[in-house]
Amino acid sequence: MRKVLMGNHAAAVGVKLARTDVVSAYPITPQTQIIEMLNDLGESGQFTGRFIKVESEHSAMAACLGSATVGARSFTATSSQGLAYMHEMLHWVSGARLPIVMVDVNRAMGAPWILWTDQTDSLSQRDTGWMQFYCSSNQEILDSVLMAYRVAEQVLIPAMVVYDGFTLSHTYEPVDVPDQKLVDEFLPKLENAYALRPDTAEAFSALPSPKEYYRLKARLDHDMTRALGVFEEAGKRFEEIFGRRYRLIEPYRCEDADTILVVSGAPASTAQAAVDDLRKQGCRAGLLKMRAFRPFPAEALRDFVRPGTRLAVVDRNYSQGHHGIFCEEIKSALFPLKSRPEVYGFIAGLGGGDITPELLKEIWKEADEGRADASTANWMEDAR
Protein backbone atom coordinates (compact mmCIF):
# COMPACT_ATOMS: atom_id res chain seq x y z
CA MET A 1 0.00 0.00 0.00
CA ARG A 2 1.28 3.48 -0.85
CA LYS A 3 1.58 5.90 2.06
CA VAL A 4 2.98 9.42 2.32
CA LEU A 5 6.08 8.99 4.48
CA MET A 6 9.09 11.13 5.32
CA GLY A 7 12.44 9.45 4.66
CA ASN A 8 13.10 8.79 8.34
CA HIS A 9 9.74 7.07 8.72
CA ALA A 10 10.38 5.00 5.60
CA ALA A 11 13.57 3.77 7.32
CA ALA A 12 11.69 2.95 10.54
CA VAL A 13 9.02 1.04 8.63
CA GLY A 14 11.78 -0.93 6.89
CA VAL A 15 13.35 -1.80 10.25
CA LYS A 16 9.96 -2.93 11.55
CA LEU A 17 9.23 -5.03 8.43
CA ALA A 18 12.69 -6.63 8.79
CA ARG A 19 11.49 -7.92 12.18
CA THR A 20 14.57 -6.41 13.79
CA ASP A 21 15.20 -7.91 17.23
CA VAL A 22 17.22 -5.17 18.89
CA VAL A 23 17.46 -1.40 18.39
CA SER A 24 19.90 0.77 20.28
CA ALA A 25 20.47 4.42 19.46
CA TYR A 26 21.22 7.85 20.79
CA PRO A 27 19.31 10.86 19.42
CA ILE A 28 20.88 13.28 16.94
CA THR A 29 19.29 15.51 14.29
CA PRO A 30 18.35 14.69 11.55
CA GLN A 31 18.14 11.00 12.45
CA THR A 32 16.05 11.07 15.63
CA GLN A 33 12.62 10.51 14.04
CA ILE A 34 13.63 6.98 12.99
CA ILE A 35 14.11 5.93 16.58
CA GLU A 36 11.09 7.92 17.79
CA MET A 37 8.87 6.12 15.30
CA LEU A 38 10.27 2.71 16.26
CA ASN A 39 9.47 3.54 19.88
CA ASP A 40 5.93 4.58 18.94
CA LEU A 41 5.49 1.37 16.95
CA GLY A 42 6.80 -0.55 19.95
CA GLU A 43 4.36 1.14 22.28
CA SER A 44 1.40 0.28 20.05
CA GLY A 45 2.59 -3.32 19.76
CA GLN A 46 3.36 -3.15 16.03
CA PHE A 47 7.11 -3.50 16.58
CA THR A 48 8.28 -6.17 18.98
CA GLY A 49 12.04 -5.52 18.89
CA ARG A 50 13.79 -4.71 22.15
CA PHE A 51 15.05 -1.16 22.61
CA ILE A 52 18.26 -0.59 24.57
CA LYS A 53 18.65 2.95 25.90
CA VAL A 54 22.22 4.22 25.99
CA GLU A 55 24.11 7.40 26.83
CA SER A 56 26.06 7.80 23.57
CA GLU A 57 26.49 6.61 20.00
CA HIS A 58 29.60 4.71 21.03
CA SER A 59 27.47 2.75 23.51
CA ALA A 60 24.70 2.29 20.94
CA MET A 61 27.11 0.50 18.62
CA ALA A 62 28.54 -1.44 21.57
CA ALA A 63 25.01 -2.59 22.49
CA CYS A 64 24.40 -3.70 18.89
CA LEU A 65 27.75 -5.50 18.95
CA GLY A 66 26.52 -7.50 21.94
CA SER A 67 23.07 -8.24 20.55
CA ALA A 68 24.42 -9.23 17.12
CA THR A 69 26.96 -11.53 18.79
CA VAL A 70 24.10 -13.63 20.18
CA GLY A 71 22.48 -13.70 16.74
CA ALA A 72 19.88 -10.94 17.12
CA ARG A 73 19.06 -8.84 14.06
CA SER A 74 20.29 -5.45 15.24
CA PHE A 75 19.82 -1.84 14.17
CA THR A 76 21.01 1.63 14.99
CA ALA A 77 20.87 5.04 13.35
CA THR A 78 22.98 8.16 13.61
CA SER A 79 24.38 11.20 11.83
CA SER A 80 27.52 13.30 11.58
CA GLN A 81 29.46 13.63 14.86
CA GLY A 82 27.42 10.73 16.26
CA LEU A 83 28.83 8.46 13.55
CA ALA A 84 32.32 9.80 14.15
CA TYR A 85 31.94 8.97 17.84
CA MET A 86 31.21 5.34 16.89
CA HIS A 87 34.35 5.11 14.78
CA GLU A 88 36.40 2.58 16.77
CA MET A 89 33.32 0.37 17.30
CA LEU A 90 32.73 0.32 13.53
CA HIS A 91 36.11 -1.35 13.02
CA TRP A 92 35.34 -3.80 15.81
CA VAL A 93 31.94 -4.78 14.39
CA SER A 94 33.25 -5.50 10.88
CA GLY A 95 36.25 -7.36 12.32
CA ALA A 96 33.87 -9.47 14.39
CA ARG A 97 31.83 -10.09 11.20
CA LEU A 98 28.51 -8.95 12.67
CA PRO A 99 25.77 -8.18 10.13
CA ILE A 100 24.43 -5.05 11.87
CA VAL A 101 22.50 -2.57 9.73
CA MET A 102 22.81 1.13 10.52
CA VAL A 103 21.19 4.15 8.94
CA ASP A 104 23.41 7.18 8.62
CA VAL A 105 21.38 10.26 7.78
CA ASN A 106 24.02 12.44 6.17
CA ARG A 107 24.76 15.62 8.10
CA ALA A 108 27.84 17.76 7.53
CA MET A 109 30.62 17.62 10.10
CA GLY A 110 31.20 20.48 12.56
CA ALA A 111 32.85 22.82 13.31
CA PRO A 112 31.15 25.16 12.66
CA TRP A 113 27.73 24.03 13.92
CA ILE A 114 25.79 22.69 10.98
CA LEU A 115 22.56 20.70 10.67
CA TRP A 116 22.31 20.17 6.95
CA THR A 117 23.46 17.44 4.68
CA ASP A 118 26.69 16.30 3.11
CA GLN A 119 28.35 12.93 2.77
CA THR A 120 31.65 13.64 4.50
CA ASP A 121 30.40 11.92 7.69
CA SER A 122 29.69 8.53 6.08
CA LEU A 123 32.56 8.64 3.59
CA SER A 124 35.01 9.38 6.43
CA GLN A 125 34.19 5.83 7.60
CA ARG A 126 35.46 4.38 4.32
CA ASP A 127 38.10 2.11 5.85
CA THR A 128 36.04 0.69 8.73
CA GLY A 129 34.99 -2.42 6.79
CA TRP A 130 31.31 -1.48 6.51
CA MET A 131 29.29 -1.67 3.33
CA GLN A 132 27.69 1.62 2.32
CA PHE A 133 24.57 1.98 0.14
CA TYR A 134 23.28 5.42 -0.93
CA CYS A 135 19.58 6.21 -1.51
CA SER A 136 17.91 8.71 -3.85
CA SER A 137 14.27 8.50 -2.74
CA ASN A 138 12.17 7.52 0.27
CA GLN A 139 11.16 4.29 -1.47
CA GLU A 140 14.83 3.42 -1.86
CA ILE A 141 15.35 4.04 1.86
CA LEU A 142 12.75 1.47 2.91
CA ASP A 143 13.88 -1.01 0.26
CA SER A 144 17.58 -0.48 1.04
CA VAL A 145 17.08 -1.40 4.70
CA LEU A 146 15.66 -4.77 3.57
CA MET A 147 18.36 -5.24 0.92
CA ALA A 148 21.09 -4.28 3.41
CA TYR A 149 19.99 -6.93 5.95
CA ARG A 150 19.86 -9.62 3.28
CA VAL A 151 23.31 -8.83 1.88
CA ALA A 152 24.90 -8.21 5.31
CA GLU A 153 23.63 -11.51 6.70
CA GLN A 154 24.83 -13.48 3.68
CA VAL A 155 28.39 -12.14 3.73
CA LEU A 156 28.56 -11.39 7.50
CA ILE A 157 29.62 -7.79 7.00
CA PRO A 158 27.79 -4.81 8.55
CA ALA A 159 25.99 -2.38 6.26
CA MET A 160 25.22 1.31 6.34
CA VAL A 161 22.14 2.68 4.56
CA VAL A 162 22.92 6.31 3.81
CA TYR A 163 20.67 9.18 2.74
CA ASP A 164 20.59 12.97 2.63
CA GLY A 165 19.58 14.76 5.82
CA PHE A 166 16.39 16.86 5.41
CA THR A 167 16.39 16.53 1.59
CA LEU A 168 15.20 12.94 2.09
CA SER A 169 14.95 12.46 5.84
CA HIS A 170 12.31 15.16 6.41
CA THR A 171 10.68 15.21 2.95
CA TYR A 172 7.37 13.44 2.47
CA GLU A 173 6.42 11.43 -0.59
CA PRO A 174 4.39 8.31 -1.34
CA VAL A 175 6.18 5.08 -0.47
CA ASP A 176 4.96 1.61 -1.32
CA VAL A 177 4.96 -0.22 2.01
CA PRO A 178 5.24 -3.93 1.20
CA ASP A 179 3.24 -6.71 2.85
CA GLN A 180 4.91 -8.36 5.82
CA LYS A 181 4.48 -11.78 4.19
CA LEU A 182 6.48 -10.71 1.14
CA VAL A 183 9.19 -9.19 3.32
CA ASP A 184 9.43 -12.43 5.31
CA GLU A 185 9.90 -14.28 2.04
CA PHE A 186 12.72 -11.93 0.98
CA LEU A 187 14.32 -11.74 4.40
CA PRO A 188 13.99 -14.94 6.44
CA LYS A 189 14.82 -15.04 10.13
CA LEU A 190 18.52 -14.53 10.84
CA GLU A 191 20.27 -17.84 11.47
CA ASN A 192 23.86 -16.95 12.28
CA ALA A 193 25.88 -20.16 12.65
CA TYR A 194 28.61 -18.20 14.47
CA ALA A 195 26.31 -16.74 17.12
CA LEU A 196 27.21 -17.05 20.79
CA ARG A 197 25.11 -19.78 22.47
CA PRO A 198 24.77 -20.20 26.21
CA ASP A 199 25.36 -23.96 25.94
CA THR A 200 28.71 -23.79 24.15
CA ALA A 201 32.03 -22.45 25.35
CA GLU A 202 33.66 -20.20 22.74
CA ALA A 203 35.84 -17.12 22.80
CA PHE A 204 35.10 -14.27 20.37
CA SER A 205 37.62 -11.90 18.84
CA ALA A 206 40.38 -13.18 21.12
CA LEU A 207 44.04 -12.36 20.43
CA PRO A 208 45.13 -14.15 17.22
CA SER A 209 48.65 -14.53 15.84
CA PRO A 210 49.74 -12.07 13.13
CA LYS A 211 49.29 -14.82 10.55
CA GLU A 212 45.74 -15.51 11.69
CA TYR A 213 44.94 -11.79 11.81
CA TYR A 214 46.28 -11.32 8.27
CA ARG A 215 44.17 -14.20 7.00
CA LEU A 216 41.05 -12.96 8.75
CA LYS A 217 41.49 -9.56 7.10
CA ALA A 218 42.12 -11.19 3.71
CA ARG A 219 38.90 -13.16 4.19
CA LEU A 220 36.98 -10.00 5.09
CA ASP A 221 38.32 -8.33 1.95
CA HIS A 222 37.39 -11.36 -0.14
CA ASP A 223 33.86 -11.39 1.28
CA MET A 224 33.49 -7.65 0.76
CA THR A 225 34.25 -8.21 -2.93
CA ARG A 226 31.89 -11.21 -2.96
CA ALA A 227 29.19 -8.85 -1.65
CA LEU A 228 29.08 -7.22 -5.11
CA GLY A 229 27.62 -10.41 -6.55
CA VAL A 230 25.45 -11.03 -3.51
CA PHE A 231 24.00 -7.52 -3.90
CA GLU A 232 23.15 -8.16 -7.56
CA GLU A 233 21.48 -11.48 -6.64
CA ALA A 234 19.54 -9.79 -3.83
CA GLY A 235 18.50 -7.11 -6.35
CA LYS A 236 17.12 -9.79 -8.70
CA ARG A 237 15.24 -11.52 -5.90
CA PHE A 238 13.92 -8.17 -4.68
CA GLU A 239 12.58 -7.46 -8.15
CA GLU A 240 10.89 -10.88 -8.36
CA ILE A 241 9.07 -10.24 -5.09
CA PHE A 242 8.49 -6.47 -5.06
CA GLY A 243 8.84 -5.43 -8.70
CA ARG A 244 11.59 -2.87 -8.10
CA ARG A 245 15.19 -3.46 -9.18
CA TYR A 246 18.30 -2.10 -7.48
CA ARG A 247 21.78 -2.25 -8.98
CA LEU A 248 25.22 -1.19 -7.77
CA ILE A 249 25.47 1.43 -10.50
CA GLU A 250 22.52 2.66 -12.53
CA PRO A 251 23.01 4.31 -15.92
CA TYR A 252 20.35 6.65 -17.30
CA ARG A 253 20.31 7.75 -20.97
CA CYS A 254 24.01 6.91 -21.30
CA GLU A 255 23.92 4.91 -24.59
CA ASP A 256 25.28 7.65 -26.86
CA ALA A 257 26.28 10.16 -24.17
CA ASP A 258 29.40 12.33 -24.65
CA THR A 259 29.49 13.44 -21.02
CA ILE A 260 27.98 11.63 -18.06
CA LEU A 261 27.10 13.10 -14.68
CA VAL A 262 28.09 10.71 -11.88
CA VAL A 263 26.00 11.36 -8.79
CA SER A 264 24.93 9.61 -5.57
CA GLY A 265 22.11 10.21 -3.09
CA ALA A 266 19.13 12.53 -3.58
CA PRO A 267 20.94 14.74 -6.16
CA ALA A 268 21.05 11.67 -8.44
CA SER A 269 17.25 11.99 -8.70
CA THR A 270 17.46 15.71 -9.53
CA ALA A 271 20.24 14.87 -12.02
CA GLN A 272 17.82 12.66 -13.94
CA ALA A 273 15.65 15.74 -14.54
CA ALA A 274 18.76 17.76 -15.47
CA VAL A 275 19.75 15.12 -18.05
CA ASP A 276 16.23 15.18 -19.52
CA ASP A 277 16.52 18.99 -19.88
CA LEU A 278 19.96 18.73 -21.50
CA ARG A 279 18.68 16.08 -23.93
CA LYS A 280 15.81 18.42 -24.89
CA GLN A 281 18.44 21.04 -25.72
CA GLY A 282 20.14 18.49 -28.00
CA CYS A 283 23.04 17.75 -25.62
CA ARG A 284 24.22 14.14 -25.41
CA ALA A 285 24.01 13.92 -21.65
CA GLY A 286 23.75 10.87 -19.41
CA LEU A 287 23.71 10.04 -15.73
CA LEU A 288 25.39 7.31 -13.75
CA LYS A 289 23.90 6.85 -10.32
CA MET A 290 26.26 5.37 -7.75
CA ARG A 291 24.37 3.25 -5.23
CA ALA A 292 27.23 1.35 -3.60
CA PHE A 293 30.39 2.94 -2.19
CA ARG A 294 31.59 -0.15 -0.31
CA PRO A 295 31.96 -2.63 -1.82
CA PHE A 296 33.09 -0.33 -4.62
CA PRO A 297 31.73 -1.49 -8.00
CA ALA A 298 35.08 -0.97 -9.76
CA GLU A 299 34.69 -3.74 -12.30
CA ALA A 300 31.16 -2.67 -13.21
CA LEU A 301 32.50 0.86 -13.73
CA ARG A 302 35.35 -0.32 -15.97
CA ASP A 303 32.86 -2.31 -18.05
CA PHE A 304 30.53 0.67 -18.25
CA VAL A 305 32.89 3.46 -19.39
CA ARG A 306 33.89 4.01 -23.01
CA PRO A 307 37.03 5.81 -24.13
CA GLY A 308 36.14 9.29 -25.34
CA THR A 309 33.29 9.77 -22.87
CA ARG A 310 33.79 12.30 -20.12
CA LEU A 311 32.69 11.78 -16.55
CA ALA A 312 31.57 14.73 -14.42
CA VAL A 313 31.63 13.40 -10.87
CA VAL A 314 29.51 15.44 -8.44
CA ASP A 315 30.66 15.02 -4.85
CA ARG A 316 28.69 16.40 -1.92
CA ASN A 317 31.73 15.60 0.26
CA TYR A 318 35.45 16.25 0.13
CA SER A 319 38.84 15.13 1.29
CA GLN A 320 40.55 18.38 2.21
CA GLY A 321 43.45 19.29 -0.02
CA HIS A 322 42.56 16.65 -2.58
CA HIS A 323 39.35 15.60 -4.32
CA GLY A 324 35.77 14.65 -3.74
CA ILE A 325 35.75 11.14 -2.36
CA PHE A 326 33.64 9.40 -5.03
CA CYS A 327 35.85 11.06 -7.66
CA GLU A 328 39.03 9.67 -6.08
CA GLU A 329 37.54 6.19 -5.95
CA ILE A 330 36.34 6.37 -9.55
CA LYS A 331 39.74 7.52 -10.81
CA SER A 332 41.41 4.73 -8.91
CA ALA A 333 38.96 2.15 -10.31
CA LEU A 334 39.55 3.32 -13.89
CA PHE A 335 43.36 3.51 -13.62
CA PRO A 336 43.98 -0.10 -14.81
CA LEU A 337 42.28 0.70 -18.14
CA LYS A 338 44.66 1.34 -21.04
CA SER A 339 42.34 3.90 -22.54
CA ARG A 340 40.64 5.91 -19.82
CA PRO A 341 37.80 8.43 -20.04
CA GLU A 342 38.43 11.96 -18.84
CA VAL A 343 37.23 12.40 -15.26
CA TYR A 344 36.32 15.83 -13.86
CA GLY A 345 35.57 16.23 -10.17
CA PHE A 346 33.11 18.78 -8.81
CA ILE A 347 32.41 19.68 -5.19
CA ALA A 348 28.84 20.90 -4.65
CA GLY A 349 26.21 21.33 -1.97
CA LEU A 350 28.41 20.97 1.12
CA GLY A 351 26.53 21.65 4.35
CA GLY A 352 23.17 21.35 2.61
CA GLY A 353 23.66 23.76 -0.29
CA ASP A 354 21.01 23.04 -2.88
CA ILE A 355 22.14 20.88 -5.82
CA THR A 356 19.68 22.19 -8.38
CA PRO A 357 19.09 21.10 -11.99
CA GLU A 358 20.57 24.47 -13.04
CA LEU A 359 23.79 23.73 -11.11
CA LEU A 360 23.97 20.19 -12.48
CA LYS A 361 23.52 21.44 -16.05
CA GLU A 362 26.30 23.98 -15.51
CA ILE A 363 28.55 21.24 -14.13
CA TRP A 364 27.75 19.05 -17.12
CA LYS A 365 28.67 21.87 -19.52
CA GLU A 366 31.92 22.64 -17.67
CA ALA A 367 32.95 19.03 -18.20
CA ASP A 368 31.50 18.62 -21.69
CA GLU A 369 33.29 21.69 -23.01
CA GLY A 370 36.49 20.76 -21.18
CA ARG A 371 36.51 24.02 -19.21
CA ALA A 372 36.84 22.31 -15.83
CA ASP A 373 40.26 21.38 -14.46
CA ALA A 374 40.76 17.60 -14.53
CA SER A 375 43.73 17.79 -12.16
CA THR A 376 41.91 19.27 -9.19
CA ALA A 377 38.49 19.55 -7.54
CA ASN A 378 36.21 22.14 -9.15
CA TRP A 379 34.06 23.95 -6.57
CA MET A 380 30.63 24.94 -7.90
CA GLU A 381 27.55 26.33 -6.18
CA ASP A 382 24.07 27.56 -7.00
CA ALA A 383 24.27 31.21 -5.93
CA ARG A 384 20.64 31.20 -4.71
In the complex, the residues that contact other proteins under the rule CB under 8 A are 2-4, 6, 115-116, 136, 164-168, 170-174, 266-267, 269-270, 272-273, 276, 352, 354-357, 384
Smallest separation, CB 263 to other proteins (Å): 11
- Which H, E and C letters describe 50-85, residue by residue? EEEECCCHHHHHHHHHHHHHCCCCEEEEECHHHHHH
* Minimum CB–partner distance for residue 117 and other proteins (Å): 8
Name the residue nearer to other proteins (CB basis): 273 or 334: 273
Smaller CB distance to other proteins: residue 40 or 185? Answer: 40
Q: Closest approach of Cβ 221 to other proteins, in Å?
A: 35
CB of 107 to other proteins, least distance (A): 11
Rounded least distance, CB 55 to other proteins, Å: 24
Nearer to other proteins, 228 or 314 (CB): 314
Instruction: Specify the residue, 114 or 298, whose C-beta has the smaller distance to other proteins.
Output: 114
Q: Which is nearer to other proteins, 110 or 307 (CB)?
A: 110
Strands in 292-294's sheet, in edge-to-edge order, are 50-53, 22-25, 74-78, 101-106, 159-164, 131-134, 292-294
Shortest Å distance, C-beta 244 to other proteins? 13
Q: Which is nearer to other proteins, 69 or 117 (CB)?
A: 117
State which residue, 173 or 223, has the beta carbon closest to other proteins.
173
Calpha distance 259→294 (Å, rounded): 25
Work out the end-to-end distance of the chain between its first and last CA atoms, rounded to an integer number of angstroms. 38
**Of 130 and 166, which has the nearer Cβ to other proteins?**
166
Shortest CB 33 distance to other proteins, Å? 12
Nearest to other proteins of 7, 14 (CB atom): 7
Cβ at position 139, least distance to other proteins in Å: 11
Task: Spell out the SS3 assignment of the chain.
Answer: CEEEEEHHHHHHHHHHHCCCCEEEECCCCCCHHHHHHHHHHHHCCCCCCEEEECCCHHHHHHHHHHHHHCCCCEEEEECHHHHHHCHHHHHHHHHCCCCCEEEEEECCCCCCCCCCCCCHHHHCCHHHCCEEEECCCHHHHHHHHHHHHHHHHHHCCCEEEEEECCCCCCCEEEEECCCHHHHHHHCCCCCCCCCCCCCCCCCCCCCCCHHHHHHHHHHHHHHHHHHHHHHHHHHHHHHHHHCCCCCCEEEECCCCCCEEEEECCCHHHHHHHHHHHHHHCCCCEEEEEECEEECCCHHHHHHHCCCCCEEEEEECCCCCCCCCHHHHHHHHHHCCCCCCCEEEEEECCHHHCCCCHHHHHHHHHHHHCCCCCCCCEEECCCCC
Q: Which is nearer to other proteins, 24 or 269 (CB)?
A: 269
- The least distance separating other proteins from the CB of residue 289, rounded to whole angstroms, comes to 12
How near is the Cβ of 209 to other proteins at its closest, in Å? 50
